[in-house]
Amino acid sequence: MGSIAAQNKLANRGNRLDFEGATVRPGNVVTDGPYAEIKEIMLGYTLVKTDSLEDAIELAKGCPVLNMGGNVEVRSIVEINM
């Protein structure tokens, strides 16, 4: 990255830009892209860390709803109504 930074092409300019209401230029081709943040990085953070159903049941037992007389059902993924 040294030579590129030296040419000041990709330097950190420090200016924040607000893209509120930004629209696509007419004639611009709107596409998807290989952006890593969501497709490769983010999707991990919301994954359940327990691997087994038993662990998930233990977690559910700690759920406050149970203490108020409610019911928490732990279902395996395949039973989710999609």
Partner 1 sequence: MQTGKELIPHLFRTEYSKITAVLAKLFGFEHIEVAEDIASDTFLLAAETWGIKGLPENPVAWLYAVAKNRAKDQLKHRSIFTQKVIGEVKQNSAGLYEMDIDLSNENIVDSQLQMMFAICNPVIPPEAQIGLSLRILCGFGIEEIADAFLSNKETINKRLFRAKEKLRKDHVKIEFPAQSEIDKRLENVLTTLYLLFNEGYYSLSQNVTLRKDLCLEAMRLNFMLVENKSTNKPAVNALLSLMCFHASRFEARTDPKGEIVLYEDQDTSLWDNELITQGEFYLNKAAAGNEVSKYHLEAAIAYWHTKKTDTTEKWENILQLYNKLLQIEYSPMAALNRTYALAKADGKQIAINEAEKLKLVTNHLYYSLLGHLYTDIDNEKAVSHLKMALKRAKSKTDKETIGKSINKLLMQL
Binding stretches for partner 1 (CB under 8 A):
1, 3-4, 7, 9-10, 12-25, 27-48, 56, 59-60, 63, 65, 72, 74-75, 77, 80, 82
For residue 76, the one-letter residue type is: S
| Least distance from partner 1 to the Cβ atom of residue 5, Å | 10
Nearer Cβ to partner 1 (14/69): 14
| Least distance from partner 1 to the Cβ atom of residue 54, Å | 14
Q: With H, G, I as helix, E, B as strand and everything else as coil, classify residue 36.
A: helix
Q: Which of 47, 45, 44 is nearest to 77 (CA)?
A: 47
Instruction: Say how far apart CA 64 and CA 82 lie, in whole Å.
Output: 26
| Least distance from partner 1 to the Cβ atom of residue 62, Å | 8
